[in-house]
Structure 1
Amino acid sequence: MRKIFLLICLFTVFSCKKKDNPNPPEQVRLLFPEKNSECTTGVDQDATTSRVSFSWQRADNTDSYELRVTNLNTNTVQTISTSATSSSLPLLKGQPYSWLVRSRNNQVNNTISSEVWSFYNAGSRTTFAPFPAEILTPDMSEKVFKDINNEVTLSWSASDLDNDIENIEVYFSEQNPPQNLEATLSATATSLKVSVLSSTTYYWSVVTRDLEGNATNSGVYVFSVL
């Protein structure tokens, strides 16, 4: 009888033991279309559209992926969910796009996004506008400390398929959208120090111009100084 009682107690202990929390999904690594490239592998659908294939590496602790593709000219977004590591979407020819993949795990609410890559879908274009500058730091809505000179460093990455960027314009102010042209920099510039005040919120954007007269805007980013 005593042995039976002990077995029941052990069974109860192990049955009531909490299961380990499931791990959140991990970030995927994008493969194709390549970053800052012209995608020439799309399959023609009609005179204006081609179907482009996207691929990425499998991520651990992930049940499904959400592919998200944005037309950078119109801000039109297309999404598709899949358990595979590839998918395809019809895209307008000669248009710039950005894309990312979100990882999902059915057992947790957390999701995580990949890097954001940009590309042009091949078309009849012979020249290309610059890709919108990629903002590096400060990140969106980040809280930062000013340095000993009461400055914060803004940094970005700019690229153009034609390699004909003429200059970089940085707009910076306490207003949204930022109206003050803080500086006009050379094509190779990737950072700028700006004077700031504590307990203040700032807005900034980067405009990239090329020799053909094309210009693209990074969009407005915001950060707060502690």
Structure 2
Amino acid sequence: MKPIAIFLCFLALVGCGGKDSPKPPLSALLVFPQKNSECTTGIDVTGTNTSTVEFRWQTSDHTESYELRATNLNSNTTQTIVVNGSSAKLPIVKGAPYSWLVVSRNTKVSETARSETWRFYNAGVETTHAPFPAEVISPKTGSNITKDLNNEVLLDWEGADVDNDLEDYEVYFSTENPPTTLIATLTSGKSDFKVSVLANTVYYWRVVTMDREGNTATNSISEFKVR
């Protein structure tokens, strides 16, 4: 009986083994346009204020297709394209700031993977560039957070400028949308600020970034609720 039992166990293992479960895709690594740079390689689209830019990234494991998303930071409009390779071309507005990312997909699984988000300027006729709109680090918009022991919350953001000449930040913060109360003007060396808050209250905030040439950029309004 013993050899038969061993044989039956072997058959059971073989029958249950099968193929490995499909693995979710991994995040792609972005290559070009580079982070916080000016893209000067666009090809003019005749009769328009656009140029065609080739976006490139490294392929990622367990991925069948890639969705490129390029967002005009001035108009907050997003263009998308799905490809199977590691590059894609899009016509985008000249002289405008953009952010871009790549989503990795696999039809065998529901999970997707996002790359980092990079920002760049698409070259135009400008000799000086406005800063990139401030990128919110925390609190993320739509989040529910807890105030600290001093009944405060830290507003934290990141600024960048192609010309590397950031000057100041103006921080607007209020329970009204849009926030119109200027609560602080900070030098470019400081990109966070603590604010007093109340529990069970929704707050709105935004940052105006300025450079030494007098150019400005305003980010989208962020909102969060204090528990």
Alignment TM-score, normalising by the size of structure 2? 0.86
Query: What secondary structure sits across from 1:166 in the alignment?
Result: strand
In structure 1, what is the Cα distance between the partners aligned to 2:30 and 2:219? Answer: 21
Q: Which residue of 1 aligns with 2:187?
A: 186
The worse-fitting range, judged by mean Cα deviation, of 17-26 and 182-191 is 17-26
Give the drift of 1:101.
Answer: 0.8
Task: Give the Cα–Cα distance (whole angstroms) in 2 for the partners of residues 70 and 137 of structure 1.
Answer: 21
User: In structure 2, what is the equivalent of residue 53 of structure 1?
Assistant: 54
Match of 2:224 in 1: 223
Q: Does 2:82 align with 1:81?
A: yes
Q: How far apart are residue 168 of structure 1 and its match?
A: 0.5
Q: How far did 1:17 drift?
A: 6.7
Which whole-Å deviations, capped at 9, do the CAs of 1:14-54 have from their partners, x for residues lacking one?
Answer: 54678654332222221110111101112233363322111
Question: Structure 1 residues 21 and 177 mapped into 2: Cα distance closer, same or farther (>3 Å)?
Answer: farther
Report the Cα distance in structure 1 between the residues aligned to 2:115 and 2:78, rounded to whole angstroms: 16
Indicate how the Cα distance of structure 1 residues 182 and 23 shifts in structure 2: closer, same or farther if over 3 A, else same. farther
Which residue of 2 is the match for residue 38 of structure 1?
38
Which residue matches 1:137?
A: 138
User: Which amino acid is the alignment partner of residue 51 of structure 2?
Assistant: S
CA distance, structure 1, for counterparts of residue 209 and residue 188 of structure 2: 8
Percent of counterpart pairs with the same letter?
53
Give structure 1 stretches of 5+ with no counterpart.
none
Give how far 1:163 is off.
2.8
Question: What residue number does 2:117 align with?
Answer: 116
Partner of 1:107: 108
Which letter maps to 1:189? K
Amino acid at match of 1:179: T
Residues 22 and 140 of structure 1: is their aligned pair in 2 closer, same or farther, counting only changes over 3 Å?
A: farther
Query: Residue 24 of structure 1 aligns with which residue?
Result: 24
- 2: CA distance, partners of 1:95 / 1:22: 40
1:122 alignment partner AA: A
118-127 or 161-170: which moved more?
A: 161-170
* Partner Cα separation in structure 2 for residue 30 and residue 58 of structure 1: 9
Count, aligned residues? 226
Question: How big is each residue's C-alpha offset from its partner over 1:62-88, in whole Å with a ceiling of 9 and x where there is no partner?
Answer: 211100112222233211101111111
| Deviation digits for residues 179-217 of structure 1 (CA, Å, limit 9, x no counterpart) | 222211112221101112223322221111234433212
RMSD: 2.6
Q: Deviations along 1:134-187, whole A, 9 cap, x unmatched?
A: 111122323322222111111111112223333201111222322222211112
Q: Distance in 2 between matches of 1:208 and 1:174?
A: 21
Instruction: Work out the CA distance in 2 between the residues paired with 1:199 and 1:22.
Output: 44
Structure 2 gaps, min length 5? none
Report how far residue 110 of structure 1 moved: 2.2
Following superposition, the deviation at residue 9 of structure 1 comes to: 8.5
* Distance in 2 of aligned mates of 1:19 and 1:151: 53
Indicate the larger mover: 47-56 or 187-196: 47-56
Q: 1:21 to 1:221 in 2, by over 3 A?
A: farther
Q: Distance in 2 between matches of 1:209 and 1:60?
A: 41
Q: Which runs of 4+ in 1 moved over 6 A?
A: 3-10
CA distance in structure 1 between the partners assigned to 2:70 and 2:89 by the alignment: 10
CA distance in 1 between counterparts of 2:137 and 2:10 reads 55
Question: TM-score, normalised on structure 1?
Answer: 0.86
After alignment, is 120-129 or 144-153 more displaced?
A: 144-153
